[in-house]
Amino acid sequence: MNLSQISQQLITLLSGIIPSYEKSFWHEQTELFGAIAEFDSMVIVTLIGEIEEQFDVVLDDDDISAENFESVASLSQLIYDNIDG
């Protein structure tokens, strides 16, 4: 799975969890943490659970950082690194 495929799958997850935005809102550069009002702790944890299930990865608690959750791109990279690792 390449980064682009990861981003697309991640966007599907995000648009399901935060359905109030148009499809066009979501793309690789969409900013998340600190930029979207709904992107709170509950959404982050929900997203982590979904990422672990859908991508069959295990994220470390240390991965829960502002940097990793900054944007679709940074989160995709985190998933990519964990799949690779």
Nearer to another protein, 69 or 80 (CB): 69
Q: Where are the alpha helices (DSSP H) in 1-85?
A: 3-17, 41-55, 72-84
Q: What are phi and psi of 35, to 5 degrees?
A: -110, -30
Q: Toward another protein, which CB reaches closer, 53 or 81?
A: 53
What is the binding site for another protein (CB under 8 A)?
A: 12, 16-20, 33, 38, 40-46, 48-50, 52-54, 56, 61, 64-66, 69
From the CB of 79, what's the least distance to another protein, in Å?
14
Instruction: Supply angle C-alpha 41, 63, 35, rounded to 5.
Output: 45
